[in-house]
């Protein structure tokens, strides 16, 4: 993938396909001494048993019936390791899964984060039946928003209404810009 926000979308879609009804995405950017960029995606989907979990970073692992090779997670792990970071998956059958990966923030080989607002927007727009929470911190500033909050705001207007989608997109874009400009997100 060209940008990390696309890897994240792919991981989120894995959670959906695993039947999750609750998914949390956290992004933590520490640009100072810690020099670290951290992502985690937590879901309450069907999980993986220990034997399968051991193989999930193997490039030939997939349970997809339409594809011969699952490349998402192994490739991402390799990219993270090349950029001073790593990847980890913890999962329990019937309980859920946590996928996390991290990078040295300032590393030359670290892919750009990319359009994270676009990725989060897809979750709210196409998967509004899933309870999705998004948390994003940049140094001491943070922002969070969830499907639950948005449903309260939009009330009887569905989140996939084009005007709602555009509004949510604008809200996400502005809030993420503010984070990088040293401002907290508002709810």
Partner 1 sequence: MAKISSLEELRKIRNDAKESMKTRSGNAKVRVFASMGTVGIAGGAREALKAMIDELEKRNFHDVEIVEGGSMGLDNEEPIIRIERDGFETTYGKVTPDMARQIVAQHIINGQMISEWVIARNEK
Ligand X SMILES: Nc1ncnc2c1ncn2[C@@H]1O[C@H](COP(=O)(O)OP(=O)(O)O)[C@@H](O)[C@H]1O
Contacting ligand FES (CB under 6 A), which of 1, 89, 126, 150? 126
Q: Is 10 in the site for ligand FES (CB under 6 A)?
A: no
Beta carbon nearer to ligand X, 12 or 179: 12
Q: Is 61 in the site for ligand X (CB under 6 A)?
A: yes
Q: Is 144 in the site for partner 1 (CB under 8 A)?
A: no
Distance CA 126, CA 129 (A): 8
Beta carbon nearer to partner 1, 6 or 98: 6
What count of residues does the chain have? 187
Beta carbon nearer to ligand FES, 62 or 142: 62
Sequence-distant (6+) residues with CB within 8 A of 126 are: 160
Distance CA 187, CA 173 (A): 14
Distance CA 33, CA 15 (A): 33
Q: What is the DSSP letter of 161?
A: S
Phi, psi of 126 (to 5 degrees): -90, -25
Q: Is 119 in the site for partner 1 (CB under 8 A)?
A: yes
Cβ 169 to ligand X, closest distance in Å?
A: 26
Residues interacting with ligand X, by CB under 6 A? 14-15, 18, 43, 45-48, 56, 61-64, 67, 70, 72-73, 97
């Amino acid at each position: 993938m060209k940008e990390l926000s696309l890897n994240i979308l792919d991981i989120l879609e894995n959670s959906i396909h695993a039947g999750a009804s609750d998914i949390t995405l956290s992004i933590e950017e520490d640009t100072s001494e810690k020099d670290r960029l951290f992502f985690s995606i937590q879901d309450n989907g069907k999980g993986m048993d220990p034997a399968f979990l051991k193989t999930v970073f193997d490039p030939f692992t997939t349970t997809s019936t339409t594809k011969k090779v699952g490349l998402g997670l192994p490739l991402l792990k390799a990219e993270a390791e090349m950029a001073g970071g790593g990847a980890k998956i913890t999962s329990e059958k019937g309980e859920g899964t946590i996928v996390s990966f991290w990078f040295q923030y300032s590393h030359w080989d670290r892919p750009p984060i990319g359009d994270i607002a676009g990725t989060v927007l897809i979750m709210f727009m196409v998967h509004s039946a899933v309870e999705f929470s998004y948390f994003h911190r940049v140094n001491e500033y943070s922002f969070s928003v969830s499907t639950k909050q948005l449903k309260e705001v939009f009330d009887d207007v569905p989140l996939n209404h084009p005007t709602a989608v555009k509004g949510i997109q604008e809200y996400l874009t502005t809030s993420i810009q503010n984070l990088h400009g040293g401002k907290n997100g508002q709810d």
